[in-house]
Structure 1
Amino acid sequence: MNKSRNYFHLHLVSDSTGETLMTVARAATVQYEDVQEIEHVYPLVRTQKQLDRVVSEIQAAPGIVLYTLVDKDISARLERTCRELGIPFVNILDPVFAVFQSYLNVTQTHRIGGQHELDAEYFKRIDALNYTMMHDDGQIWEDLEAADIVLVGISRTSKTPTCIYLANRGIKAANVPLVPDIPLPPQLLELKKPLVVGLIASAERIQQIRRNRVLSLQSENYNDTYVDRKEIAREINLTRRLCSDNEWPLIDVTRRSIEETAAEIMALYRAAKTKQVDDQEV
């Protein structure tokens, strides 16, 4: 029996892209099983005229208002509107700014969208994305040594989305598929700089994903072994053996989100970098 859900309006108002707000809002709303938000997102609100539409929509559908607005006049008007309507509102960065200012004892610069400036970090992420897209699914093997991280795994272990997630954080990530009876590129076994990580999942999970993929593609020209559970189990065992032989860390992604998998890979990467530095100093 399905539980009835209570719906509420959630207004996210930002003078930048709104990504920070959406991340915080979704982290909060997922904690409440019996409620469902109706999300209204207003990015790039930087003038009073742009705020007019926001105010109008909040008045039409009152709810919770979360915002990140640097301009004091715009944020003051939004707060005034919320008070008049008797609805809750939170500038989600205020508590963070207060802690930083108290600890650092420096003045806040009030830069709008400062995290999205076209600085060296931004271009590092773009460079990483370009590298990752060019090296997806083993497309280019010759320069794997230029990668920061190389993921290996059988089909449907989320190698590509994990690589893209890492690239968005400035990590050059390549991935190499493990296909039965097809030799690995010799460069993979000779890598010195990149961290190589193996990805696996349960045979049941991979079988389910592969079946869904075959159905979605409406493909009749596929090998039966692709969705055969015993064959999938054999592929998984080959992955385990390969990683064990080469002392590569192995991550089971069966019950992990892309974000959780990437977080563990990043922890392994930082540990490997630290070890490299320590070895050089010895």
Structure 2
Amino acid sequence: MNRNYFHLHLVSDSTGETLIAVSRAVAAQYQGTVSIEHVYPLVRNADQLARVINEIQSAPGIVLYTLVDPTLSDELQSACAEFGAVSMSVLEPIVNLFHSYLGPAQSPRPGAQHTLNSEYFRRIEALNYTMAHDDGQGVDEFESADVVLLGVSRTSKTPTSIYLANRGVKTANLPLVPGAPIPEAIFQLNRPLVVGLLASPERIVQIRENRLLSLNVADNTPYVDRAMVSDEIAQSRRLFNERKWPMIDVTRRSIEETAASIMDLHRLHQMKFLSD
């Protein structure tokens, strides 16, 4: 049956991030069909689950869930079967695979991946560092970064930096501004991976024009001049080539894809840095 939309119920005993990421990745394959998301985080007792079941019953659709408690999981599955909503435990196949290899988990806990452990505090430290070293701030401290991003205005340096920080990667970034000298400290960097971000002139102009429009600023400036933008990008490319810094063209990449490429480059950079 073809549908223009469907209800997607995401039931989690934690934050729901896993369900959101998985479901959106699949839903994106169905162009022309819109998922109406209903997210129910922190469902950990029967009363909370009862409220969720009532909402699912009023708008049946696809139900995905991550519930560690087998009693809650069974109750949700039975309720969905009663009123014709298809349901699936997203983690169960993976849990079964781990179980077959490692044996049963010692202590199944809802939201165990979000405990305040060293990894969590590492991400917080990375985020604090990244916010303090955004847009060229504290350039003399860039040596303590894991990654340094360079690029002309509107090459997604800041959102990419924040995404990397949420993965525990301390990231600094510096805009390349026409006529402005690059701080000498950038050329002295040793520990961080330096990555150049590029995009097509058309893409940069489009983003800059939208930016000026949102600010109610006239668009007859060199900032959005096609020829000058092309020259900016060409100069940045020459710089990256001269310094042998890896380059990533973000024209058709999402922030997530760009960050994944950078993390892979960072892994190789760390291996080389440690072996030297």
Question: Which TM-score bucket, shorter chain as reference?
Answer: over 0.9
Tell me, in whole angstroms, the C-alpha distance in 2 between the residues paired with 1:259 and 1:87.
32
Q: CA RMSD in A?
A: 1.3
Matched to 1:246, the amino acid is R
1:264 is aligned, of 261, 266, 271, to 261
1:16 alignment partner, SS class: coil
Residue of structure 2 in register with 1:134 after alignment: 132
Match of 1:157 among 155, 160, 165: 155
- TM-superposed CA distance for 1:140, in Å, is 1.3
Q: Distance in 1 between matches of 2:86 and 2:254?
A: 32
Give the partner amino acid of 1:260: E
What is the DSSP-based 3-state SS (H/G/I as helix, E as strand, rest coil) of the residue aligned with 2:21?
helix
Q: CA deviation at 1:223?
A: 7.2
Q: Percent identity?
A: 59
* Residue aligning to 1:243: 240
Shift of 1:83: 1.3
- Which residue identity does 1:43 align to in structure 2? P
In the other structure, the counterpart of 1:278 is 275
SS at match of 1:155: coil
The counterpart of 1:166, out of the listed 157, 164, 171, is 164
SS of residue in 1 equivalent to 2:88: strand
Question: Is it true that 1:203 corresponds to 2:201 in the alignment?
Answer: yes
SS at match of 2:174: strand
2:107 to 93, 98, 109: 109
Q: Cα distance, 1:53 vs. partner?
A: 1.1
What residue number does 2:9 align with?
A: 11
Q: Does 1:254 align with 2:251?
A: yes
Write out per-residue CA displacement over residues 128-157 of structure 1, whole angstroms, 9 at most, x where no aligned residue.
Answer: 000000110001112110100000000000
**Map of 2:65 onto structure 1:** 67
Range that drifts further, 27-36 or 250-259: 27-36
Q: Distance in 1 between matches of 2:220 and 2:160?
A: 26
CA offset digits 1:206-259 (Å, max 9, x no partner): 001101100110024x77110001100110011111111111001110000000
Is the contact between residue 191 and residue 273 of structure 2 (CA under 8 Å) also seen in structure 1? no
Once the two structures are TM-superposed, the CA of residue 73 in structure 1 deviates from its matched residue by 1.5
Q: Is the 8 A contact 1:101 1:108 kept in 2?
A: no
Deviates more, 1:269-278 or 1:229-238: 269-278
Does 2:221 match 1:224? yes
State the partner residue of 2:184. 186
Deviations 1:8-45 (A, max 9, x none): 11110000000000001001111111321111100000
Provide the secondary structure at the position in 1 that maps to 2:233.
helix
Q: Does 1:37 align with 2:21?
A: no
Q: Deviations over 1:241-278 (max 9, x none)?
A: 11111110011100000000001111111111111233
Contact 2:126 2:171 in 1 (8 A): yes
In 2, the alpha carbon distance for the partners of 1:118 and 1:215 equals 42
Query: Offset of 1:185 from its aligned partner?
Result: 1.1
- Residue 275 of structure 1 aligns with an amino acid whose one-letter code is K
Pairing of 1:41-52 with structure 2 (within 5 A):
41-52=39-50
Which string of whole-angstrom CA distances, capped at 9 and with x for unpartnered residues, describes residues 89-109 of structure 1?
100000001111112234353
* Change over 3 Å in CA distance of 1:156–1:5 after alignment to 2: farther
1:81 and 2:100 equivalent?
no
CA distance in 1, matches of 2:135, 2:3: 41
Note if contact 1:149-1:194 (Cα within 8 Å) is conserved in structure 2: yes
Please give the TM-score of this superposition, normalised by the length of structure 1: 0.95
Q: What is the TM-score when the length of structure 2 is the normalising length?
A: 0.97
Gaps of 5+ in 2: none
